[in-house]
Amino acid sequence: MPVFFIRDGMKFPDMVHAFKPSPKTNMQENWRIVDFFSHHPESLHMFTFLFDDVGIPLNYRHMDGFGVNTYTLISRDGKAHLVKFHWKPTCGVKCLLDDEAVTVGGTCHTHATKDLTDAIAAGNYPEWKLFIQTIDADHEDKFDFDPLDVTKTWPEDIIPLQPVGRMVLNKNIDNFFAENEQLAFCPAVTVPGIHYSDDKLLQTRIFSYADTQRHRLGPNYLMLPVNAPKCAHHNNHHDGLMNFMHRDEEVNYFPSRFDPTRHAEQYPIPPRVLSGCREKCIIEKENNFKR
């Protein structure tokens, strides 16, 4: 889905509680979900997607992918543009109706995984095209909505999609637990040229994901082969449970005259001039019902 239920990460724990089973009956109660979201009109956009035909994808090969959050692209000279990422399947988007989903899911609850695995094994490699939408960071306030609001989409008629790449899945994994279950994706891990924005939900996610992964996989989850860099790397993270990186060194800090560690290449981060009081407040341009 291209949007999210709420626009403020502070509400995320309560939203999860509403979705989870009742602490009294251990049953997922629809009234709890409706009760919570009745106080959050911004969620209507997400529910229009969920209850539309696109709410139940046919399988992984026929579904879109969306970054949802807004990031920042930074040019070599430090110019910043707000950006949203979109993945579009080359085989088209296909979905299931409610009764079809009951039949398919009841027959094989792993039907989407089976479809993807079988397609790759047969050489029918699924492919997605990557598109971006960009806004000059200086034009952020020129719309009747807040571009950093995750409950909003950017109108494609005024902010068109631009093709920038593609992704092809051409190999199945060898071990599900090692290569899939232990994956630790994190929106805080970026590459030079991509930076965060002031997206309120993104600011929550870049903090919480690593904390969750330390709980789920341990403090050295970045040493796991599926999460570690493919190239040689060096950091000052030593010790901790399940540390299997052998190091014969005394200096685990930076800088040091005893360790000739090379500085990482610097890349520009756009400067921003801020003034005024720093306070927690709601997004001013809520505009909950205009699509």
- pLDDT tens track for 94-105: 999 989 989 998
On the question of pLDDT at 3 being above 70, the answer is yes
132 found inside a domain: yes
245 vs 8 pLDDT, higher one: 8
pLDDT band at 254 (very low <50, low <70, confident <90, very high): confident
pLDDT band at 39 (very low <50, low <70, confident <90, very high): very high
265 found inside a domain: no
219: domain CATH number is 2.40.180.10
286 found inside a domain: no
For residue 172, what pLDDT is reported? 97
Residue 187's domain spans which residues? 43-223
- Segment 179-186 mean pLDDT: 94
Comparing C-alpha atoms, which of 52, 47, 57 is closest to residue 100? Answer: 57
Give me the chain's average pLDDT, please.
90
- Segment 250-256 mean pLDDT: 84
180 found inside a domain: yes
238 found inside a domain: no
For residue 266, what pLDDT is reported? 75
113 found inside a domain: yes
240 vs 34 pLDDT, higher one: 34
- Segment 167-176 mean pLDDT: 96
pLDDT band at 291 (very low <50, low <70, confident <90, very high): low
> pTM surpassing 0.85?
yes
Q: Name the residue with tokens 């800088």.
A: 255
129 bridge partner residues: 88, 166
User: What is the total count of domains within the chain?
Assistant: 1
233 vs 93 pLDDT, higher one: 93
Q: Name the residue with tokens 């509400």.
A: 11
94 found inside a domain: yes
259 found inside a domain: no
For residue 40, what pLDDT is reported? 93
On the question of pLDDT at 81 being above 90, the answer is yes
Instruction: Give pLDDT tens digits for 93-133.
Output: 999 998 998 999 889 999 999 999 999 999 999 999 999 99
Instruction: Give pLDDT tens digits for 46-80.
Output: 999 888 888 889 999 999 999 999 999 998 888 89
* Percent residues over pLDDT 70 in the chain: 100
For residue 127, what pLDDT is reported? 97
Q: Name the residue with tokens 């599926």.
A: 226
